[in-house]
Structure 1
Amino acid sequence: MTALYDDPDFLSGYRELRRSGRGLNEDLEIPAMNALLSPGGRGDELRVADLGCGEGELALRLASAGASVVAIDASAAMLSRTTEHPQIRYLQEDLARLDLPASSLDLVVSSLALHYVEDFIGLVSRVAHWLVPGGRFVFSVEHPVITAPRDAADLLVDDYADEGPRQRTWFVDHVVKYHRTTGSTVETLLGQGFTIEALREPQPTRAQVASKPHLAIHRRRPPILLIAARLVSPRRTGPP
């Protein structure tokens, strides 16, 4: 993720997408994420890690509501645009190497970042190690029906069963994302001691499409998958 989000051409395109409001964040992902967290996205004095925090929007929402947050991203360019807050500690680190103290967190969140992670099983195992029993893992990723096709322009769900890397052109060439089926994502969580509290696939309403026609394509297939999981049977043998 470091090379991608620190690439000036990619970063310019990404920031213009967010500035223009043509992304999915404000219309779909942020409302759905807030709904899976406590009411209004509140932090409620929780100890939180935000994985792949980007410019820190989710971390700031949680900290402003009372959480103590460690916000982690591999990109120096993204972290340079974060907002300082007394209850946020920013950390530049690749999620593949991230290590946090055992049983030190009440909540781990991630917003549209984990489809860049190759070793999802290893990451979920470490998340389970960091959480207290009863702690929650709430995250969003690109929906598997989006990541599945080897040709990003293909609206058909194709090559769904073949998990692994997919190359995309998104502002720049050779952007690598990792396709995992919904089933294997859920099974990985269950295998690491989590239970699933919610699984959601937000899509635009007809009213949203009427006011923002560019969202129409997202009524044909869900663009985002969100999962809320709770650690009920933690493994305490340490991370892999």
Structure 2
Amino acid sequence: MKQNKYDDPNFFSAYEQMPRSVKGLEGAGEWHIFRELIPNLKDKNVLDLGCGFGWHCRYAREQQASYVIGVDISKQMIQRAREMTNDPLISYIKAPIEDIDFSSSQFDVVISSLAFHYIKSFKLICEKVHDYLKTDGNFVFSVEHPIFTSRNEQDWYYDEKGNPLHWPVDNYQIEGVRETTFLDEQVTKYHRTISTYINDLIDTGFTVKAVKESIPSDEMLISIPEMKNETRRPMFLMISAEKDNS
């Protein structure tokens, strides 16, 4: 069964209080980097996988995308996205990402934010996206960084006073399931190495254009003092790839 924690009332209630849920893209610490990876969206057909509240879908239309389709497994996410959207050129589909079925060469750009580490097979997603993209189309996505997902605990190592001493990395090369805690709930994530992300893209027929690791913006470092710890290890990995014209 595909995981859908976001329709759990307690989990969803906690999620909707997160800064990125309340403030949107500007509340996401990685947005200033992720935004730079997204190509010009004017007159482009865009697919958003794991669209959540639809923030990236609405951003795409603000950038004059022709039309946008957002996909999410969660009924509550899709419902909230529809409530927040007043645009006939944005449509939302409730479905697991693994089950999407679109026409070949239907999209110019496929984006995804922090969804693929919940999915068992990244290679399957690469194959689907490659088919749905037009030649020279762009695939831009973010995931939790493999440094972050390597251990089940996914937390700092603290001293006796509760100060974070360092971020431990272990079992990095052992890919697969990680049973961990997020928003005080148990969730299942899938750890894979940086090389697997990149090689799955290459093997599927993508050219990797850029690889970025998250770091808070200068503004966030000033306004949110605890963000300084986010300079000690990257929490997110972001990759931009292009479908080869061969």
TM-score (norm 2): 0.87
Match of 2:131 in 1: 129
- For 1:16-165, what aligned pairs fall within 5 Å after superposition? 16-18=17-19, 26-38=27-39, 43-67=41-65, 68-82=67-81, 83-154=85-156, 155-165=167-177
Contact 1:17 1:23 in 2 (8 A): no
Under a length normalisation based on structure 1, what TM-score does the superposition of the two structures give?
0.89
Measured in 1, the distance between the counterparts of 2:125 and 2:20 equals 31
State the Cα RMSD in Å: 2.1
Q: Return closer, same or farther for 1:19/1:54 CA change in 2, 3 Å cut-off.
A: closer
Name the CA distance, whole Å, in 2 between partners of 1:64 and 1:23: 14
d(CA) in 2 for partners of 1:28, 1:84: 26
Query: Bigger CA drift: 167-176 or 50-59?
Result: 167-176
Unaligned runs of 5+ in 2: 157-166
CA positional deviation for 1:169: 1.3
Report the Cα distance in structure 2 between the residues aligned to 1:156 and 1:202, rounded to whole angstroms: 18
- Paired letter, 2:112: S
1:174 maps to which residue?
Answer: 186
The answer to whether 1:214 aligns with 2:212 is no
d(CA) in 1 for partners of 2:21 and 2:7? 20
Paired residues, what number?
231
Flag as ranges the 4+ runs of structure 1 deviating above 4 A: 19-25
CA drift of 1:205 comes to: 4.9
Indicate how the Cα distance of structure 1 residues 24 and 60 shifts in structure 2: closer, same or farther if over 3 A, else same. closer
Deviations 1:74-113 (A, max 9, x none): 1110111111312111111111111111111111000111
Residue equivalent to 2:199: 187
How much has 1:13 moved relative to structure 2? Answer: 0.8
Partner Cα separation in structure 1 for residue 44 and residue 217 of structure 2: 32
- Letter of the 1:76 counterpart: K
5+ long unaligned stretches in structure 1: 235-240
